[in-house]
Amino acid sequence: MFKNLYLLFIKFFKIGAFTFGGGYAMISLIHNEVVGNMEWLTDDEMNNMIVVAESTPGVLAVNTATFVGYKIAGVLGAACATLGVILPSLIIIGIISLFLDAFKELRFAMYAFEGLRAGVVLLIFDAVLKLSKKRKKDVFYYCVLILTAALSIIFSINPIFLLIGAAIAGVLYSIVANNPRRVKDAAPYEAGDDGSDEK
């Protein structure tokens, strides 16, 4: 029990300390640690957890850490994982705030942030690939993907409304796809070689 609490804190502290760019950039590192290294979750469980974390109020990375910690070690696990992922940011921001004016004047710091922005794009892209790799690809999947992308890029619709719309579409699709009143395939007709019923 205590070993899991310690590992949850250390793993998420490392993720929080070495990830820039917000929750989406953290997804790839969380996936590597939770699914790849520790094998606490499967790909499907991780994907479902990220969907729930994205759909609930709060920061994506914090929500994901909380859910993972709760699944592994209950309430204490959720507390350790959450504290681990937010503590590095609190420490770094606290230090920077003491020297903010001087920090803004450091040219190498500005150049470093320019490089980090490029790295963040790669991390987010990697997370997208990992999330979509295990997802069942069907007509509904591609329709929702293309439609939400078009609405976001062309019309700049708020992502919250896109998430709500995608969730509603998923519910409606599952109701239609799993309708017990659909016509089922008839049982195969057994016949002899000559086409007549076998006796």
pTM of the model: 0.61
Distance of CA 138 to the CA centre of its chain: 20
Angle (nearest 5°) at CA 104 between 114 and 109: 35
Taking a C-beta distance cutoff of 8 angstroms, is the pair 118, 47 a contact? no
Distance, CA of 108 to CA of 102 (rounded, Å) = 12
Q: How many Cα atoms occupy the beta-carbon half-sphere of 104 within 13 Å?
A: 4
Taking a C-beta distance cutoff of 8 angstroms, is the pair 21, 116 a contact? yes
Residue segments in the chain with a per-residue pLDDT below the cut of 50: 183, 185-199
Residues sharing a CB contact under 8 Å with residue 163, sequence separation 6 or more, in sequence order:
54, 55
The pLDDT, as a whole number, for residue 135 is 65
The pLDDT, as a whole number, for residue 190 is 46
| Residue found under tokens 């019309």 | 155
Using the 8-state DSSP alphabet, how is residue 128 labeled?
A: H
